[in-house]
Structure 1
Amino acid sequence: MRRLIATVALCAALAACATAPTVYAPAAGAQAVGFSELRIEPGRYRVTFRGGPGAPMTQVADYALLRAADLTLADGYDWFRVVDRYVAQSGDGGGSRLSVGAGGGSGGYRSGVGVGGGASFDLSGGPALTQTIEIIMGKGAPPSSARGEVYNAADVRRTIGARI
């Protein structure tokens, strides 16, 4: 019994190490947790933030907006407008699974039958969410007739940045 408990504890610890936490940092690769961006033209970017498994949608959306604000300020602009937004989900969150198998065989004067079972438990925390936004940047006062979401980059940086 002790061996079983130790094995389960070790598997849980390994699974926890394999799950990437959601932090506001550049993504180390195409499928890694973090932000990335693509400059489409001057003053226009596509910003992506990929959260770790189980990260709340609000956190993923906030981090995408924060990266947009950082880019806007770094390029010398005052505000940005979100002109396109989409969310993707990868992984299904796993879930628990149970399987049972049986087999038999014979050879010469001997025969045997075996039955086995297995179980797996999802320790990932849930599916990973990715939010991608396309932004257009501007200087001065934001246009009052702008369609879409318009944000003051300094305000976004101050408000969301204070929470991380």
Structure 2
Amino acid sequence: MTILSRKKVFTVTLLAASALALTACASLAPYGPQTGSRGQGYAEQQIENNRFRVTYNGVGAAGPVADRALFRAAQLTTDRGYDWFEITQRWIDGRPDSAGGVRPSVSIGASSGRYGGYSTSGVGVGLGVNLSGPQPTSTTLEIVMGRGATPDRPGVYQARSVMESVGPRL
């Protein structure tokens, strides 16, 4: 292995270790109510008697934060004496869910040149690495609660069933 190759391996190893160390600095707090205006946790706002907006703020991957918002919606539904809830709107990080999340991208570049009697060419591939660690994320659900038979529509959940299936992951 050449000295240049060893330097590359060392640099990549150092970057990976740095990213891992930064990841350990921030993590998703235990499930619970939001503490402070920028803290992690759930908050809700009543819109009508059976309509609420439930938000969960966290750090890291969007999936666990969305699970916590869903769990809070189910909890709130049973606390209010309802059997099921329907998600009528959903926002992830303040954007409607249909807008999608962060998408990976790949960059490829090529060049060639001529200098005197020599010609050169090169190809490069870019890869983005997030070294800033876990980022704040939030999921907001607007829900309508109901009693009795659960409607057969997408976005309708039986509250107790959600609590039983999502609860152990929290």
TM-score for the superposition, normalised by structure 1: 0.63
Match for 2:144 among 130, 136, 139? 136
Aligned to 2:38: 31
Q: Report how many residues are paired.
A: 116
Structure 1 residue aligned with 2:97:
none
* Counterpart position of 2:86: 81
SS of equivalent to 2:90: strand
Distance 1:23 1:155, change over 3 A: same
Q: Which runs of 5+ in 1 are unaligned?
A: 1-12, 90-121
Of the three residues 32, 43, 47, the one matched with 2:50 is: 43
Q: Deviations over 1:95-123 (max 9, x none)?
A: xxxxxxxxxxxxxxxxxxxxxxxxxxx87
Aligned to 1:163: 169
In structure 2, runs of 5+ residues without a counterpart are: 1-20, 95-129
Q: Write the mapping of 1:80-119 to structure 2, written as runs, cut at 5 A.
A: 80-88=85-93
Residues of 1 paired with 2:167 and 2:35: CA distance? 21
Displacement of 1:22: 3.0
Say which structure is richer in helix: 2
Gap change, CA 1:21 and 1:123, over 3 Å in 2: farther
Instruction: Output the amino acid matched with 1:136.
Output: V
> Residue type matched to 1:48 in 2?
T
CA drift of 1:30 comes to 1.7
Residue-by-residue CA offset, 1:61-107 (whole Å, 9 max, x unaligned): 10000000000000000000000001117xxxxxxxxxxxxxxxxxx
Shift of 1:16: 5.8
Are the aligned partners of 1:16 and 1:123 in contact in 2 as well (CA < 8 Å)?
no
Deviation at 1:41, TM superposition (A): 1.2
**Which of 103, 121, 126 is the equivalent residue of 2:134?**
126
1:65 corresponds in structure 2 to 70
The 5 Å alignment of 1:3-14 reads none
Alpha-carbon shift at residue 56 of structure 1 (Å): 1.5
